[in-house]
Amino acid sequence: MSNRPTAVAFDVNETLFSLLRMGERLADAGLPEGALQIWFTRVLRDGLALAATGDYHPFRALAAGHLTHMLAADGLDADAQRVDAILSHFQELDAQPDAEPALRRLRDEGVPVVTLTNGHADTVGAMLENAQLDGLVDARLSVDEVGLWKPRAEPYHMAARHLDVEPRRLALVSVHSWDIHGANRAGLVTGYASRMEGSFLAGFDEPDVSAAGLVEVVDGLLGLPPA
C-alpha cells in the first residue's frame, strides 16, 4: 500500500478547471456543437503521440494548429490572429466547484501543492489568479521544462525534484485515467476523481485512491498510512 504523500501535484485542464468556456468560444467562432471535444481530443492525441516517440511540441502550437484546420474545414476565418484570440480565452476558464475546497484542505494540512500541466505555466498562472486560487498553489509546473508531455515519466519526476521529495512521496491528482497510469508508472501516489469519466478505465494501472470528486480524493490521500 502507498503511504500518505508529503506533497501533491494537480492536473489542470478538466481536473481543476472546466473547459466549457472554451466550448462557448468555439461556438461563437461558428464551429458546430461537439467541436470542443473533437478539438481537445486531437490536441491530446498528438501531444501524447509525440511523447511516445520522445518528441515534443508545445500545447499552444498543437492547439492552434488543430483549431486552424477545424475553422478552415468549415469555411470559417482561420486567420492566425483570430485563432490566437480564441485561445487566449483559456485564461478565463472557470474553476471546477471542488477545486477550491480540495486545495484549501491541503493548505490547512500544510501539504505543498503544485499544478502540473501539459500546457504553459504562465497560462495556468493567469487561470489560477482569475479564479482567486493562486494563493493555494505553491508552484505552477509545465512539461515545457522537460520537453515531453505527460504521461511520460519525466514530467512527474521533474515535479518531485522541484518539491525535493522522492516520487513515492508525491501524489498526482487527476480526472484522466491515462494521467493516473503515467504517474503510477513513474512511482507516484495517485488520486483519481471519477466525475468526468464516470469510472476508471480498464487497461490502466489502478489509482491508490479513487472517489467522485477532488475533496474526497484529497481526504483519501491524507488518510493513507504515514511512511
| Per-domain boundaries in the chain | 7-18+93-222, 20-91
Query: Could you say which architecture CATH assigns to the domain 20-91?
Result: Orthogonal Bundle (1.10)
pTM for this structure?
0.96
- As a whole number, mean pLDDT of residues 99-106 equals 98
Tens of pLDDT, residue by residue over 34-59, are: 999 999 999 999 999 999 999 999 99
- Does residue 146 sit in helix, strand or coil? coil
Number of C-beta neighbours around residue 3 at 10 A: 14
What pLDDT does residue 1 have?
A: 77
- Position 73 scores a pLDDT of 97
How many whole angstroms separate alpha carbon 184 and alpha carbon 115? 17
Query: Once rounded to an integer, what is the mean pLDDT over residues 150-179?
Result: 98
Topology adopted by domain 7-18+93-222: Rossmann fold (3.40.50)
Pairwise CA distance, residues 191 & 170, whole Å: 11
Q: Residues, the chain, total?
A: 227
